[in-house]
Amino acid sequence: MTDATNAYAAAGVDIEAADRAIDLMKEWVEKARRPEMLGGLGGFAGLFDASALTKYKRPLLATSTDGVGTKVAIAQKMDVHDTIGHDLVGMVVDDLVVCGAEPLFMTDYIATGKVVPERIAAIVKGIAEACALAGTALIGGETAEHPGLLHPDEYDVAGATTGVVEADELLGADRVRAGDVVIAMEASGLHSNGYSLVRHVLLNTAKWELDRHVDELGTTLGEELLVPTRIYAKACLDLAKRTETHAMSHVTGGGLAANLERVMPKTMTAVIDRATWTPQPIFDLVRQVGSVPQPDLEATLNQGVGMVSLTAPSDVDAAIAGLAEFGIRAWVAGEVREAAGDAEAGRVRLEGQHPGW
């Protein structure tokens, strides 16, 4: 070790640990490749062969970036790090596919107080496994050690993905028509949003421990809170290809109505019937333990719906059957109508009540 390296280590940055982390993560990154990916780890930039874009008449590049919020606090408390990367991929690729874009490649960024090679490798393992599920290449990334800014066991993750869609196949509000059916796709759980509320209610206020077994959940609280975000990318791309789907919305922070409104034309309104599904027990648990009003829940959590599509009524059966082939339960949750006045313009209304609520 050189004197410079010794000095850096004395300042809290362990270069050798970072090198060991790279060695440990290599096998996982290798599993998240596409044929267009050139080279491997170690370069200053990831390379992707863009000649594949020549098959498009007018290719539009799409990009998305995100993190996983305070869910990382749960992973750190439980010392379980191989699922949080799955959440990261889900957050970025499924924001991308709502416009019909295929995610081509992704990069990640991990900031930590101290590089523990096994922990970094576990995080990257989750990212790589999820990239493989989404059909996207993990083309590069960065791990940064920030002693003094983060505690040794603290870290945060972020990522960005780039995709492509044919211009005349771009999904969005301009395609939506009155009569379109709102197809809801089941979430795996909380996904990666609303954890500040959930932690406040269950951990800070109710003082529940993460290893507490909760009968309503059938598992411990910590295990439930770490259930990975469902990845819809391949299923939604297939949906767009096989059916007349006009728009999709990824249900993340802000809840179902607010996210669906992002793809609603101002001349339309959507009505969703809560009676068409029962949210998983974790949502009712937060509601009851924290006495959280339902409007607050719906403005924060996904309430059991992770993705929705606005699909022509003639293709509803094909859409639901196609999603089932990818292991995603889906159902008709509502419909799009002409807006009757300014109060309805571009808005989404939830009506009825969930069975059992």
SS (H, E, C) 229-246: CCCCHHHHHHHHHHCCEE
From its phi and psi, is residue 189 left (phi > 0), alpha (psi between -120 and 50) or beta? left
Q: What is the pLDDT of residues 174-232, one digit of tens each?
A: 999 999 999 999 999 999 999 999 999 999 999 999 999 999 999 999 999 999 999 99
DSSP state of 201: I
Q: Which of 36, 55, 161, 159 is nearest to 98 (CA)?
A: 161
Q: What is the pLDDT of residues 22-46, one digit of tens each?
A: 565 556 555 656 666 666 655 667 7
Could you tell me the pTM of the whole model? Answer: 0.90
Phi, psi of 75, rounded to the nearest 5 degrees: -60, -40
**How many helices and strands (H and E) does the chain possess?**
12, 14
Collapsing DSSP to helix, strand or coil, 127 comes out as helix
Q: What is the pLDDT of residues 82-122, one digit of tens each?
A: 999 999 999 999 999 999 999 999 999 999 999 998 999 99
Q: What is the pLDDT of residues 324-356, one digit of tens each?
A: 999 999 999 999 999 999 999 999 999 999 999
